[in-house]
Structure 1
Amino acid sequence: MVLARSKFLEEGHYDFMRQFVKDKLVDHNIYTLIDGGCGQGYYTKEFKQVVDTVYGIDLSKEAIRYAAAHDKQSQYFVAGIFDMPFPDHSADCITSIFTPLPHEEVYRVLRENGIWIVVGPGPDHCIELKELMYDRPYKNDWPDTHMDHFECVSQDLISNKAVVEDVWSLLEMTPYRYNSPSSSLDKVKACKSLDTTFEFVVSIWRKI
């Protein structure tokens, strides 16, 4: 799974979202960042270009091993996002990109007025993949605009469309891989390419 995700990400389909988040780090003058649920470090290594100190944490030993081998500038730990190995008020920013949201732990680790950047799927993210797999494809819900102890600074919808040649690796990036019947998986295996919408909601929260 790590190799499949790495292969897909390195094709560049998510680069525009990564650059958008990177620009936000510059805008907010971030110096210490924790990338929670960093996976194989695809985002983490890019953030290090504009942030002095960057940590990546993930529960997958295989993903962390891959990340550390391909990025010697950031520091990586095998750890859970709900119990981060960092002291209170120690980070300027935490990023949560397609991960669960550990509200209490993020609040503990962020400094006063610290920034939490959350990235999730937009309403039409991978809608073509859903149309391929399901008779009644659904759109994703818009994320919350209220969160206790945090102020919503901004929410941006960004999107791009591209032809995906390796549709199975795209499926590996989604929860549909493990929640779909074999008939739907067979449709993906038979698909040679797919014109796909990539759409993300980037929410920026400030600790208050």
Structure 2
Amino acid sequence: MQWLMCPVCRENLGLNERTWGCAQGHRFDLAKQGYVNLHVVQHKHSKQPGDTPEAVDARRAFLSAGFYAPLRQAVEALLAKYQPKTLLDIGCGEGYYTQAMQQHVTDCIGVDIAKSAVQRAAKTNSKVTWVVGTGAVLPVLDQSMEICTSLFSPIPQQEILRVLKQDGLCLVVTPAPQHLYDLREQLFGEVRLHEPEKFVTQLSDDFELIESQVVDAPFVLKQQDIQNLLAMTPYAYKARPEMRQALEQQEQLALTASFQLYLLKKKARAAV
């Protein structure tokens, strides 16, 4: 089954050999890496939206080392419990979590606004439908998904409502209050705790919270790992250069990542 939506006319897209097309004649070719670019020019606000190639490469190196594996395992456990068949991963990045989630569903779509990220993701798992696209107009059909996931990504609430089936699920992963506390303390001195509950409040009109859990992942980073972690987070450009440089020069650093998982269910009365 094909779930993609034409970003121009919003009709169903079908795949013919290596081209996605709709009944209105709009055509989108598969790139050689296996993804399709549905981020049309009228939806763009910059020439190179999303993460830089350098940030994408740093994230891939860091995640592939397994430091955030406890989070991936927790996400997979939720999918195994609820067994959705169609999944849309919003802000899939280079595909670390998406390729794991694909193994638990029948149809999996990964979408990200950063072309460089999707190019790398497309090489990880050919069973995922990889798409360059924007959360402002999610490139899937109305009421076609059983679950939408947003892991450290924006939450386009109205678009998620549109694409979710009735009683569909939304999985949000965001930093827990103590996430990377020691790292932030060294970078900024004074640390403001993350406030994950704001997302439940934001979604409360349209979604019912059904599960909540915090996953902690302690680890010790070597110097290159520290540099990769900094390069993949917003902390890199928010910190003063001398603070970042001092941290990057450390030979090792013990940290704990702390993740807040919220699983929400679309309310029957939720209006699109």
| Shorter-chain TM-score tier | over 0.9
- Count the aligned residue pairs: 208
* CA spacing shift, 1:128–1:40, aligned 2, 3 Å: same
How far is the alpha carbon of 1:138 from its aligned partner? 2.5
1:180 aligns with 2:234: no
Structure 2 distance, partners of 1:78, 1:46, is 19
Structure 1 distance, partners of 2:145, 2:239, is 38
1:153 aligns with 2:207: no
1:191 corresponding residue in structure 2? 250
Structure 1 distance, partners of 2:138, 2:155, is 13
Q: Is this contact kept in 2: 1:128–1:194, CA < 8 A?
A: no
Structure 2 distance, partners of 1:115, 1:188, is 39
Amino acid at match of 1:133: L
Superposition TM-score, scaled by structure 2 size: 0.74
Aligned partner (choices 83, 99, 104) of residue 29 of structure 1: 83
User: Percent identity between the aligned chains?
Assistant: 32
User: CA-to-partner distance for each residue in 1:128-187, whole Å, 9 max, x for gaps?
Assistant: 111221221222123233321110111111112110111011112321112122122112
What is the aligned-residue RMSD (CA, Å)?
1.1
Structure 1 distance, partners of 2:235, 2:116, is 22
| Unpaired stretches in structure 2, ≥5 consecutive residues | 1-54, 268-272
**RCO greater where, 1 or 2, for CA within 8 Å and sep 6 or more?**
1
Structure 2 distance, partners of 1:195, 1:98, is 22
Aligned to 2:265, the other structure's residue is in SS state strand
Q: Is this contact kept in 2: 1:2–1:63, CA < 8 A?
A: yes
Q: Is this contact kept in 2: 1:151–1:206, CA < 8 A?
A: yes
Q: Which is greater in Rg?
A: 2
Write out the 4+ residue segments of structure 1 that deviate beyond 6 Å after TM superposition. Answer: none
1:53 corresponding residue in structure 2? 107
| Unpaired stretches in structure 1, ≥5 consecutive residues | none
Per mean C-alpha deviation after superposition, the further-off stretch among 16-25 and 174-183 is 174-183
Structure 2 distance, partners of 1:51, 1:161, is 29
1:136 corresponding residue in structure 2? 190
Aligned partner (choices 228, 236, 256) of residue 169 of structure 1: 228
Aligned partner (choices 106, 117, 126) of residue 63 of structure 1: 117
Per mean C-alpha deviation after superposition, the further-off stretch among 183-192 and 93-102 is 183-192
Aligned to 2:217, the other structure's residue is in SS state strand
User: CA-to-partner distance for each residue in 1:45-74, whole Å, 9 max, x for gaps?
Assistant: 001111111000001111101000121111
1:19 corresponding residue in structure 2? 73
Superposition TM-score, scaled by structure 1 size: 0.96
Aligned partner (choices 130, 135, 145) of residue 81 of structure 1: 135
How far is the alpha carbon of 1:82 from its aligned partner? 2.0
User: CA-to-partner distance for each residue in 1:23-59, whole Å, 9 max, x for gaps?
Assistant: 1111112100000000000001001111111000001
